[in-house]
Amino acid sequence: MKLFTGLEEIVSSNHSLAPHTWLGLGGPATYFIEPTSVEQLAQVSRRCRENEIPTYVLGSGANVLIDDAGVKGAVIHLGREYFKQVTPVAGGLRANAGADMGQLVLRCVRQGLSGLESLTGIPGSIGGCVRMNAGGAFGDIGNIIQSVDVMSEGGEVFTRSRPDLAFAYRSSNINAKFILGATFGLGEDDPHRILKQVKQIWIYKKNTQPLGHRNAGCIFKNPRGLSAGALIDRAGLKGKRVGGAHVSQKHANFILADEDTKTSDVLKLINKVREAVYKKSQVYLELEIEVW
Closest to 179 measured CA to CA, from 245, 238, 218, 129: 129
Cβ atoms of 31 and 53 within 8 Å: the answer is yes
Residue segments in the chain with a per-residue pLDDT below the cut of 50: none
Domains of the chain and CATH, by start: 2-81 (3.30.43.10), 85-208 (3.30.465.10), 228-291 (3.90.78.10)
Closest to 142 measured CA to CA, from 121, 105, 103, 115: 115
Closest to 45 measured CA to CA, from 131, 151, 132, 141: 151
Closest to 286 measured CA to CA, from 119, 139, 278, 263: 278
pLDDT given for residue 1 in this prediction: 63
Cβ atoms of 221 and 170 within 8 Å: the answer is yes
Q: What is the b/e burial string over 127-143, where b = at least 16 CB atoms within 10 angstroms of the residue's CB?
A: bbbbbbbbbbebebbbe
Measure the CA–CA gap between 167 and 140, rounded to whole angstroms: 9
Catalytic positions, written as ranges:
170, 218, 288
What is the pTM assigned to this prediction?
Answer: 0.91
Residue 274 Cα to chain centre, angstroms:
22
Measure the CA–CA gap between 99 and 26, rounded to whole angstroms: 23
- Strand 255-257 relative to strand 55-58: parallel, antiparallel, unpaired? unpaired
Q: Which residues partner with 65 through β-bridges? A: 291
pLDDT given for residue 211 in this prediction: 82
DSSP code per residue over 223-292: PTTS-HHHHHHHTT-TT-EETTEEE-SS-TT-EEE-TT--HHHHHHHHHHHHHHHHHHHS-PPPBSSEE-
